Structure 1
Amino acid sequence: MIIDSLLDTDLYKFSMMQVVLHQYPAAQVEYRFKCRTPDIDLVPCLDEIRAELKALCRLRFAADELDYLRGWRFIKSDFVDFLGLFQLNEKYVEIAPAEAGNGEIEIRIRGPWLHTILFEVPLLAIVNEVYFRHASGGLDPSEGRRRLQAKIALLRDTPGYADCKVADYGTRRRYSRVWQEEVVTTLRDGLGEQLAGTSNVWLARKLGLTPLGTLAHEYLQAHQALGPRLRDSQVAALEAWAKEYRGDLGIALSDVYGLDAFLRDFDMYFCKLFDGTRHDSGDPFVWGEKVLAHYSANRVDPRSKVLVFSDGLDIPKVMQLYAYFRGRCQLAFGVGTNLTNDMGPAPLNIVIKMIRCNDQPVAKLSDSPGKNMCEDQAYVAYLRQVFGIPAAQG
Structure 2
Amino acid sequence: MIIESLLDTDLYKFSMMQVVLHHYPAAQVEYRFKCRNPGIDLVPYIDEIRGELDALCQLRFSVEELDYLRAMRFIKSDFVDFLGLFQLNAKYVTIAPAEAGNGEIEIRIKGPWLHTILFEVPLLAIVNEVYFRNTQPDHDFAEGRRRLQAKIALLRDTPGYEHCRIADYGTRRRFSRLWHEEVLAALRDGLGTQLAGTSNVWYAQKLGLTPLGTLAHEYLQAHQALGPRLRDSQVAALEAWAKEYRGDLGIALSDVYGLDAFLRDFDMYFCKLFDGARHDSGDPFDWGERMLAHYRANRVDPRSKVLVFSDGLDIPKVMQLYEHFRGRCLLAFGVGTNLSNDTGPVPLNIVIKMVRCNGQPVAKLSDSPGKNMCEDEAYVTYLRQVFGIPATQG
The TM-score by the shorter chain falls in which range? over 0.9
2:215 equivalent in structure 1: 215
Q: Post-superposition shift, 1:138?
A: 1.7
2:8 equivalent in structure 1: 8
1:341 equivalent in structure 2: 341
Q: How does 1:245-264 map to 2 (within 5 A)?
A: 245-264=245-264
CA distance in 2, matches of 1:348, 1:326: 33
Specify the code of the residue in structure 2 equivalent to 1:227.
G
Q: How does 1:185-334 map to 2 (within 5 A)?
A: 185-334=185-334
SS state of the match for residue 261, structure 2?
helix
Q: Post-superposition shift, 1:9?
A: 0.1
Specify the code of the residue in structure 1 equivalent to 2:325.
F
CA distance in 2, matches of 1:316, 1:200: 23
CA distance in 1, matches of 2:318, 2:240: 32
Q: Post-superposition shift, 1:49?
A: 0.2
Q: Which moved more, 1:129-138 or 1:27-36?
A: 129-138
1:38-97 Cα distance to aligned partner (Å, 9 max, x none): 000001111110000000000000011000000000000000000000000000000000
1:340-377 Cα distance to aligned partner (Å, 9 max, x none): 00000000000000000000000000000110000100
SS state of the match for residue 172, structure 1?
helix
Specify the code of the residue in structure 1 equivalent to 2:164.
C
1:172 equivalent in structure 2: 172
* TM-score using structure 2 length: 1.00
1:131 equivalent in structure 2: 131
Specify the code of the residue in structure 2 equivalent to 1:285.
F
1:189-220 Cα distance to aligned partner (Å, 9 max, x none): 00000000000000000000100000000000
Q: Post-superposition shift, 1:135?
A: 1.1
Specify the code of the residue in structure 2 equivalent to 1:146.
R
Q: Post-superposition shift, 1:311?
A: 0.1
CA distance in 2, matches of 1:65, 1:251: 25
Structure 1 residue 159 corresponds to structure 2 residue 159: yes
CA distance in 2, matches of 1:170, 1:178: 13
CA distance in 1, matches of 2:77, 2:384: 40
Specify the code of the residue in structure 2 equivalent to 1:70.
R
CA distance in 2, matches of 1:138, 1:181: 19
Structure 1 residue 95 corresponds to structure 2 residue 95: yes
CA distance in 1, matches of 2:129, 2:251: 30
CA distance in 2, matches of 1:320, 1:90: 44
Structure 1 residue 354 corresponds to structure 2 residue 364: no
Q: Post-superposition shift, 1:145?
A: 0.2
Specify the code of the residue in structure 2 equivalent to 1:77.
S
1:62 equivalent in structure 2: 62
1:163-190 Cα distance to aligned partner (Å, 9 max, x none): 0000000000000000000000000000
Structure 2: tracts of 5 or more residues without a match: none
Structure 1 residue 116 corresponds to structure 2 residue 116: yes
SS state of the match for residue 282, structure 2?
coil
1:44 equivalent in structure 2: 44
Specify the code of the residue in structure 2 equivalent to 1:232.
D
SS state of the match for residue 103, structure 1?
coil
CA distance in 1, matches of 2:355, 2:302: 35
Q: Post-superposition shift, 1:134?
A: 1.1
CA distance in 1, matches of 2:85, 2:56: 15
1:267-323 Cα distance to aligned partner (Å, 9 max, x none): 000000000000000000000000000000000000000000000000000000000
Specify the code of the residue in structure 1 equivalent to 2:191.
L
Specify the code of the residue in structure 2 equivalent to 1:116.
T
1:365 equivalent in structure 2: 365
Structure 1: tracts of 5 or more residues without a match: none
Q: Post-superposition shift, 1:137?
A: 1.2
2:376 equivalent in structure 1: 376
* TM-score using structure 1 length: 1.00
1:24 equivalent in structure 2: 24
Specify the code of the residue in structure 1 equivalent to 2:210.
T
CA distance in 2, matches of 1:219, 1:293: 26
SS state of the match for residue 370, structure 1?
coil
CA distance in 2, matches of 1:310, 1:293: 20
**CA-based RMSD:** 0.3
1:79 equivalent in structure 2: 79
Q: Give the total of aligned pairs.
A: 394
CA distance in 2, matches of 1:325, 1:45: 45
